[in-house]
């Protein structure tokens, strides 16, 4: 059997898979751009859990520690996934705001994803402490981890 | 402060949040239908990790236990999230194939999601065993859990 690169191993079945899945999840999986869809889903879910935590801190939403913990847990579940594998070579095209620097500086990009994972783990721990100041600090660190990566690797415009 | 229902608590900030996030994740978060987007992202990501496992079993993709474990781990991370909270009252409209029975039989719907979580945990454990037969059995049970819920609660057509 011909040896395939790891990136190719991941991409290969998804091309076929995309066709099957498009019947099921058409709204959220573009079968022509499965990797772009996958990673955008991941970022969207992460943001949708981070948003309400920020809203609670700002008083825009009632303070509710059980729900805050749930949002933080779900962020931790997401960052436990290695989303970098959804950036294989060639997936820098199409509906994406991923800058070319992701592929030229992949090690740094992965390091920044690890920083995010660390920050989210601290947010998850802080959420359980009930200490609002500790939560605010962890939220700040998490937001900083998001921004540090966006500044470097996310375009303001779609690159297609 | 006026008491809000749990469903409303989740929906409330997302309406505002959707507006902010739409700048970032336009392709995968419809700010008019954030709940529909959220759950469809979840299902798409789950399917994209389950697909390659099935492909390995069918020999359509090279057998690779490390990658199989990674896919199973990511499915477990996703099913550790409570996606049922992305089905609040009122989110039965728009771009969705969620059948009305989800809301009228919410307890059963949640029980079926729990069944899926259990099946995926068994798949994750089997993946680590290196026992191909155990993996095939766990994949079958996971597929059955998907189907059992789809049969009941997922329309073949979009309901809009």
pLDDT in tens, chain A (160 residues): 334 444 444 444 443 343 333 334 444 567 789 999 999 999 999 999 999 999 999 999 999 999 999 999 999 999 999 999 999 999 999 989 999 999 999 999 999 999 999 999 999 999 999 899 999 999 999 999 999 999 999 998 875 5
**Residue bearing tokens 């809301």:** B103
Measured between CA atoms, the residue of chain A closest to residue B29 is: A44
Which tokens hold the place of B4?
Answer: 């809000």
Burial class (CB in 10 A: 0-12, 13-18, 19+), B100: exposed
Query: Against a cut of 0.95, is the pTM above it?
Result: no
pLDDT of residue B1: 36
Contacts A13 to B, Cβ<8 Å: 51-52, 55, 60-61
pLDDT of residue A11: 45
Burial class (CB in 10 A: 0-12, 13-18, 19+), A92: middle
CA–CA distances in Å: residue B50 to residues A21, B45, B47, B124: 11, 9, 5, 11
User: What's the complex ipTM?
Assistant: 0.82
Q: Pick the residue of B20, B41, B153 with the most A CBs within 10 A to test the interface with A by mutation.
A: B41
Distance CA(A121)–CA(A125), nearest Å, equals 6
Q: How many CB pairs under 8 A join A and B?
A: 140
3-class secondary structure, B102? helix
**Residue bearing tokens 């802080």:** A126
A123 in Cβ contact with A73 (< 8 Å): no
Measured between CA atoms, the residue of chain B closest to residue A34 is: B48
pLDDT of residue A159: 59
pLDDT of residue B17: 41
Q: Residue count of chain B, please give it.
A: 160
Burial class (CB in 10 A: 0-12, 13-18, 19+), A134: middle
Distance CA(B49)–CA(A84), nearest Å, equals 14
| End-to-end Cα distance, chain B | 36
Contacts A82 to B, Cβ<8 Å: 70, 74
B131 CB-near residues (< 8 Å, 6+ apart): none
Contacts A31 to B, Cβ<8 Å: none
Considering only CA atoms, which of B44, B96, B100, B45 is closest in space to residue B73? B45
Distance CA(B102)–CA(B155), nearest Å, equals 11
Out of A17, A47, A77, whose CB is closest to B51? Answer: A17
Distance between B115 CA and the closest CA of chain A, angstroms = 19
Out of B4, B55, B62, whose CB is closest to A62? Answer: B4
Residue ranges in chain B whose pLDDT is less than 50: 1-27
B59 CB-near residues (< 8 Å, 6+ apart): none
């Amino acid at each position: 059997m011909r040896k395939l690169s790891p990136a190719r191993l991941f991409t290969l079945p998804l091309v076929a898979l995309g066709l099957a899945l498009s019947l099921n999840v058409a709204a959220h999986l573009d079968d022509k751009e499965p990797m772009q869809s996958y990673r955008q889903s991941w970022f969207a879910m992460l943001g949708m859990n981070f948003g309400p935590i920020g809203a609670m801190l700002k008083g825009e939403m009632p303070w509710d520690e059980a729900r805050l913990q749930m949002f933080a847990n779900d962020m931790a579940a997401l960052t436990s996934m290695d989303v970098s594998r959804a950036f294989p070579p060639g997936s820098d095209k199409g509906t994406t705001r991923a800058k070319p620097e992701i592929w030229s500086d992949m090690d740094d990009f992965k390091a920044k994803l690890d920083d995010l994972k660390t920050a989210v783990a601290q947010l998850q721990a802080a959420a359980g402490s009930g200490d609002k100041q500790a939560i605010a600090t962890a939220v700040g660190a998490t937001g900083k981890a998001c921004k540090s990566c966006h500044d470097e690797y996310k375009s303001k415009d779609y690159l297609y």
